[in-house]
Amino acid sequence: MNVAIIGASGYTGLELIKILINHPKFNISYIANSSGEMNVQDLHPCLKNVINIDVDLANALEVSKVADLAFLALPHKTSMAFAKELLELGVKVVDLSADYRLELETYEKHYCEHTDKEHINDAVYGLPEYFRDEIKNAKLIANPGCYPTASLLALLPFIDHIDTNAPIFIDAKSGVSGAGKNPSETTHYCQINDNVHAYNPFKHRHMPEIHEKVRILKGKDVSINFVPHLLPLTRGMLVSVFATLKDDIDVNEVLNNAYKDCEFIRIREKPVDVKSVAGTNFCDLFTAKNGKALFVSSAIDNLLRGASSQAVVNANILCGYEEYEGIPKIAYVP
Ligand SMILES: NC(=O)C1=CN([C@@H]2O[C@H](COP(=O)(O)OP(=O)(O)OC[C@H]3O[C@@H](n4cnc5c(N)ncnc54)[C@H](OP(=O)(O)O)[C@@H]3O)[C@@H](O)[C@H]2O)C=CC1
Ligand SMILES: CC(=O)N[C@@H](CCC(=O)OP(=O)(O)O)C(=O)O
């Protein structure tokens, strides 16, 4: 199947190219950014002698002539303009931005006015472990945020066992590539190197995303207290969930039962780390309890399981291919 990548000059766009080059069923027929008129090897010198394809100025009509499915690795707001046009032209869309992840009211409260309201209800939230059946029949996938991916995979199995009158805390830490390729004051080397800090405590836009998906999947309106941090790492994400259990349960049994048939979840016996998942689509999970205090830890690669490899898994499911086809499993260790 011919596929397009729009936003190919960004960090997640590059990861999409790297995965799709080796994919047995998908063929990259179109790649684009906001300027075009160059070769992909000029855009990403690391791809010299690997792939030779022109980069176009993004144009939905041109995409529809050469591809059946498009990956949008674009900023929020820009994405919905392209998605709307592509869907009207009959092209299936896997969107890596937040534009179709949330219910309209929640989206407009935390982002901006939505300019493609007619397609919001067609979007399926692309967390395969929880929405696999819906993804199979979708034409528009809203790929989850990186923090919500790691947080939901850790939290959801325990929701029915958690005392929801007590606060749930999520302490999340991300590598700097999570902020995309454009540098800013917070991502400047001197600010990041040898340093660690929280940002947007209890105010980050991923907090409502986690809250909404827990409500939709588990029917519970729980209070999520989410605090992200930046780490001096290029890629990687570590999430720690702290909550209070209602009963004295076997926490490992809960986790193992929740994910027993899941190819890309690994339940570990020791606390998880980001290096063991770097370069892969795995989410590694670890849990422990102290009386009624619950700790669940998850590790993902923010650029892969948090974005591009999860997007390709979603495309695999949507196209009827095996979930694991072309998906990286070997971590960058050491
Ligand atoms: N980085 C991460 O870990 C994660 C990112 N995401 C989401 O994925 C999306 C992409 O993120 P990321 O790769 O980090 O972002 P980057 O900032 O690294 O890349 C953005 C890309 O969008 C392109 N672009 C911007 N405006 C336009 C336009 N008008 N027309 C065509 N192309 C345009 C840019 O092209 P140009 O070079 O020409 O400006 C660039 O290729 C975002 O929505 C982000 O929130 C989701 C989960 C994790
Ligand atoms: C480290 C860092 O800055 N991370 C980004 C989130 C990563 C991401 O891109 O998520 P979305 O897809 O929802 O935009 C942030 O905190 O906004």
Residue 270's pLDDT band (cuts 50, 70, 90): very high
- Ligand nearest the Cα atom of residue 226: 2
* Ligand 1 atom at minimal distance to the Cα of residue 15: 13
Output the CA angle 188-194-200, nearest 5 degrees.
Answer: 60
- SS3 label, residue 267: strand
Ligand 2 centroid–CA 302 distance in Å is 9
Ligand 1 centroid–CA 140 distance in Å is 18
pLDDT 10s digits, 299-324: 999 999 999 999 999 999 999 999 99
Q: Taking each helix axis from N to C terminus, what angle separates 128-136 and 308-318, rounded to the nearest 10 degrees?
A: 40
Active site residues per annotation: 146
* Structure confidence at residue 181 (pLDDT): 96
* Structure confidence at residue 67 (pLDDT): 98
Amino acid at 263: E
* Structure confidence at residue 318 (pLDDT): 97
Residue 188's pLDDT band (cuts 50, 70, 90): very high
Ligand 2 centroid–CA 309 distance in Å is 16
Q: Output the residue whose Cα is nearest ligand 1's atom 30.
A: 34
Q: Output the residue whose Cα is nearest ligand 1's atom 4.
A: 178
* Structure confidence at residue 221 (pLDDT): 93
- Ligand nearest the Cα atom of residue 176: 2
* Structure confidence at residue 107 (pLDDT): 98
| 45: CB partners within 8 A, 6+ apart | none
Residue 13's pLDDT band (cuts 50, 70, 90): very high
Instruction: Quote the CA–CA distance of 25 and 69 in Å, as a whole number.
Output: 12
* Ligand 2 atom at minimal distance to the Cα of residue 228: 16
| 182: CB partners within 8 A, 6+ apart | none
Looking at every residue in the chain, the average pLDDT score rounds to: 97
**Site to substitute for ligand 1 among 9, 177, 206, most atoms within 8 A of C-beta:** 9
ipTM above 0.95, yes or no: yes
* Structure confidence at residue 210 (pLDDT): 98
**Pair of tokens at residue 307:** 């974005």
Burial of 185 (0-12, 13-18, 19+ CB in 10 A): exposed
